[in-house]
Amino acid sequence: MITVALAKGALLKDSVARFAKAGLDFSSILDPKNRLLMVPSSCGRARALLVRNGDVPVYVAYGQAQLGIVGFDVLNEKQMPVANLMDLGFGGCRMSVAVKETSGYKSAVELPHHCRVASKFTGCARRFFDDIDLPVELVHLTGSVELGPLTGIAEAIVDLVATGQTLRENGLVEIEELFYSTARLIGHPLSLRLDDGLIQNVIETLQSQKYSSSET
Amino acid sequence: MITVALAKGALLKDSVARFAKAGLDFSSILDPKNRLLMVPSSCGRARALLVRNGDVPVYVAYGQAQLGIVGFDVLNEKQMPVANLMDLGFGGCRMSVAVKETSGYKSAVELPHHCRVASKFTGCARRFFDDIDLPVELVHLTGSVELGPLTGIAEAIVDLVATGQTLRENGLVEIEELFYSTARLIGHPLSLRLDDGLIQNVIETLQSQKYSSSET
């Protein structure tokens, strides 16, 4: 029995589609009426845990799920001991520094020393500003980070940007990209070592799709 | 101009009602079509910031909002430097330890040493288990904590319980209450000291309601 951890939200539909091609059908999870958080595959050989984005690497790190699909943004933020097995290519977005359009800043190094930067991803932000050797005060917010510069709680934000619409609606502009994030297949290291072929088989099927699939 | 931080979700309706009685009408925030995160009061003397639960004490601690309404659970977890001004009485729920009904544990001290406990509130959980001198490994989850004991990632959870329905649906049972949480009015300490009477006026009106209001 394989358990896979799937993230609620934007990555779910593509995640289910990928596993379906690898022979594990969790499509009942997409039914709007589904209230189950533990969903068996139609073949009975596997089950999916439907959890929040940030919890996918936790369930995989503790071995409660042998495989999981989660955005690179979360992996980078959480730094959990999981095997990063494959870039699945979908769910692309940028982790970016953004400021008020009227601020005049054109790049992150122009930000004033000891200014405040709001983010849900304070781990990623800390490593980025350490790398460019700019001392900033990070303000951890859990949502609506675009409010930061508008209220004055922060001069800049570090946040995920997909289409850029939220930034534009709030008069903000990207000035630097930390990294590009896509969905990743992750695995529990010990389960991979003890695997009798079942997990490897799923991974290889997902790997072969990667080069044959046209979806992104 | 007073800025108040209001939490999205369960506390919002009562929070808006309380401020309305104090003369600050933010009822447009309750309009399902409202997409604004910064909402002026109808009198123009104030504005509300509509933010996530955990961000209310952050906006108040940094002085971007002079007042805010948030659950005691969040205040206890975040431990931000804000003034805890008043217990507003609504939004009652328990922060509790829960285990599988079949586990047989009847109180928290019966849990095995070094067992795993999953929670969104790892700060509250850490202080509680330190107080009872029980060494446990905390697993931080961001949602659906009730999955913890079912998947085996944790023997117990620490979570908010209102009606207890989620616990029952998942075969879990409360064995100990850490504290009872209600909505609190919080303030930015420096703004309160520098106040020319405007903020104090709102606080006093809210205080007088407390003893005249029958709503909970």
Residue boundaries of the structural domains of chain A:
2-91+182-212, 93-180
Supply the mean pLDDT for chain B: 94
Query: Are A21 and A209 in contact, with CB atoms under 8 Å apart?
Result: yes
Per-residue pLDDT at B121 exceeds 60: yes
User: How is residue A190 annotated by DSSP?
Assistant: H
- Chain A, chain B: beta-carbon pairs less than 8 Å apart: 71
CB contact under 8 A, B151 and A59: yes
Distance (Å, whole) CA A148 – CA B55: 11
Does residue A59 sit at the B interface (CB-CB below 8 Å)? yes
CB contact under 8 A, B49 and A152: no
Does residue B141 sit at the A interface (CB-CB below 8 Å)? yes
Complex ipTM value: 0.90
CATH number of B93-181: 3.40.190.10
Task: Choose among B57, B51, B50: nearest CA to B72.
Answer: B57
Tell me if A2-91+182-212 shares its fold with A93-180.
yes
How confident is the model at residue A216, as a pLDDT?
44
Nearest chain A residue to B141 by CA distance is A55
User: Which residue in the set A51, A55, A141 is minimally distant from B58, CB to CB?
Assistant: A141
Q: Which residue has 């845990």 as its token pair?
A: A49
Distance (Å, whole) CA B208 – CA B216: 15
How confident is the model at residue A36, as a pLDDT?
85
Percent of chain B with pLDDT over 70: 97
Least confident of A26-35, B81-90, B102-111: A26-35
Mean pLDDT for the stretch of residues B179-202: 96
Does residue A142 sit at the B interface (CB-CB below 8 Å)? yes
Q: pTM for the full model?
A: 0.92
How confident is the model at residue A205, as a pLDDT?
93
**Architecture of the B2-91+182-212 domain:** 3-Layer(aba) Sandwich (3.40)
Min distance B210 CA to chain A CA atoms (Å): 30
How confident is the model at residue A34, as a pLDDT?
86
Q: How confident is the model at residue B211 (pLDDT cuts 50, 70, 90)?
A: low
User: Which residue in the set B52, B64, B142 is minimally distant from A153, CB to CB?
Assistant: B64
Task: Choose among A96, A84, A114: nearest CA to A188.
Answer: A84
Which tens digits make up the pLDDT trace of A126-166? 999 999 999 999 999 999 999 999 999 999 999 999 999 99
Query: Are A65 and B152 in contact, with CB atoms under 8 Å apart?
Result: no
Top residue of A3, A34, A37 to mutate, by most chain B CBs within 10 Å, is: A37
First to last CA, chain A: 29
Which tens digits make up the pLDDT trace of B131-149? 999 999 999 999 999 999 9
What is A93-180's CATH superfamily? Periplasmic binding protein-like II (3.40.190.10)
Distance (Å, whole) CA A120 – CA A157: 9
Does residue A151 sit at the B interface (CB-CB below 8 Å)? yes
Does residue B150 sit at the A interface (CB-CB below 8 Å)? yes
User: Which residue in the set B54, B62, B64 is minimally distant from A142, CB to CB?
Assistant: B54
How confident is the model at residue A13, as a pLDDT?
97
